[in-house]
Amino acid sequence: LKKYYKLVEELKAAGGLWEDPEFPPSVLSLTYEEELPQDVTWIRASEFHERACFMENGVSKSDIMQGELGDCWFWASVATIAHCRQLIERVIPPGQYISEKGPYFGVFQFRFWQFGNWVEVLVDDYLPTRNRGLIYARSENTNEFWPSLLEKAFAKLHGCYKAIEGGWTVDALTDLTGGVGEMYKCCDYKDQQEELYNQLVTATRKHAFIACGTGKQVNDGSSEKQEGLIAGHAYSITAVNFVQLTTPRGRVPLVQILNPWGSGKSIEWTGDWSDVSPLWDEIPVWTRESFGFSRKDDGEFWMRFDDFCERFANVTILTLGPDFNGDGGAGNSRDQGISQFLEVKGQWVTGINAGGCRNNMAKYIQNPQYPVSISGTDVINSNSEEDKDETCSILICLLQNYRRCDRKLGVNMNPIGLHIYKVSNKEVQGDQQEVNFYPIEVPISSTERVSNTRSINAHCKLYPGDYVIIPSTYHSDIEGEYMLRIFTENNVHIHGGH
């Protein structure tokens, strides 16, 4: 934050309001495409309203109203963490003003997690408008501007507003928290909906963050909107709960969902257990109140879980600590007795170590190899012999450093994956920098599939001993930067790697 405070001191001395030279109020900040937005005028936030303010009564999920930009993946993620003051204040530092309530210099600061580091982004308060109306994100409160400026900072981080169109909530949640996320496809749980629901229940109980998304079609139909749901759209899951009925229906699993588009009956689910459903009349008033149920036109609604699974394509669960078992539950390091968190950065370089996948073993062995030694087993607070575990739970997250600003060059994310092999202690000695391990045998653990996503996780339970982790792209001779994040409940030693 030194840059921000230094700039504020300079503005105090010189007077006037800051104009960002790196992200000017021009078409270059809007798009990288040849087709330019029409009739756009940039206006400072302070000129919109006589009582303009940066934030009024804190951040609330109900503040958010997505604009013309297709960045629902970002706003669904912001809504998902909006209730967590500690996280919000890391991303949006307090003490910022657009009024006489505090110092106003036209400069605002935000922070995002990027490839292992929290990055500060400064923006001025010029905002793109059409006919004096904001064309992108805005607050439900017409005099409040933190959503507009947060979106502008995220756009600057990635090069322009156009660069943040389209994405996955797992990436936005990671950028906003630095946590570890996992996306689950609803179709993989077609006959195991109860298992998926239990994961959401566990995640909610452990204060994980949950988002979801519809597919290109929200049902078997072809329309973009059915029963109030939007095709290809990201939502936030704000609650998971059972409702107990005295009728033969018994206990019904429900999820509460928020559309980041904001208020409007046309953007809420209209089926069973929606705001307009008569099913709510079957339960006592006090139960409805405990669910926070209301028939407000606020973009938030309840759904029965089997309806959800039929109409939604994916669910994302993000935890601040590692979810070793992949069940949606994780606490902080102190709660779980986590003693190890390792980060290793590297890169695949053509002709040197960009070996690609196991389809070509001669090239595959050129990939980076990270020898690790596991010295103990999981810590279990039990005296029972039956509860003792002779393995160590490990979560390995592989991230690639994808720059959204490169989309204008046609650069896409690489399909990535990782494999873990058991080796003898003779193959891993001291802190050697090269292992030259030849993976003849089948890996003992790996990511479930190679995926062209920004991050992919491997959950494993390994016996004490020596192993080699090999991250790779699917195709050989593809360059890129990557980072391994290794979480474990016991001591793990990484021996250099190459």
Q: Which residues are catalytic?
A: 72, 233, 259
CA proximity to 59, closest of 86, 88, 93, 80? 88
Residues 318 and 208: beta-carbon distance below 8 Å = yes
From residue 48, how far is each of 29, 67, 101, 258 by CA, in Å? 20, 17, 17, 28
SS3 category, 340: strand
CA proximity to 195, closest of 31, 203, 80, 85? 203
SS3 category, 241: strand
CA proximity to 68, closest of 128, 141, 8? 128
Instruction: Give alpha helix (H) positions in 19-134.
Output: 72-81, 85-91
What is the rounded distance in angstroms from the CA atom of residue 457 to the CA atom of residue 447?
6
DSSP state of 349: -
Residues 148 and 53: beta-carbon distance below 8 Å = no
Exposure string (b/e) for 172-208, b if CB count within 10 Å is 16 or more? Answer: bbbbbbbbbbbbbebeebeeebeebbebbbbbbebeb
Residues 415 and 475: beta-carbon distance below 8 Å = yes
CA proximity to 170, closest of 399, 415, 458, 448? 399
State both tokens at 401: 């450093």
Helix (H) or strand (E) holding 43: strand 41-44
What is the rounded distance in angstroms from the CA atom of residue 106 to the CA atom of residue 418?
46
Residues 226 and 308: beta-carbon distance below 8 Å = no
Residues 255 and 302: beta-carbon distance below 8 Å = yes
Burial class of 266 by CB neighbour count within 10 A (0 to 12, 13 to 18, 19+): exposed
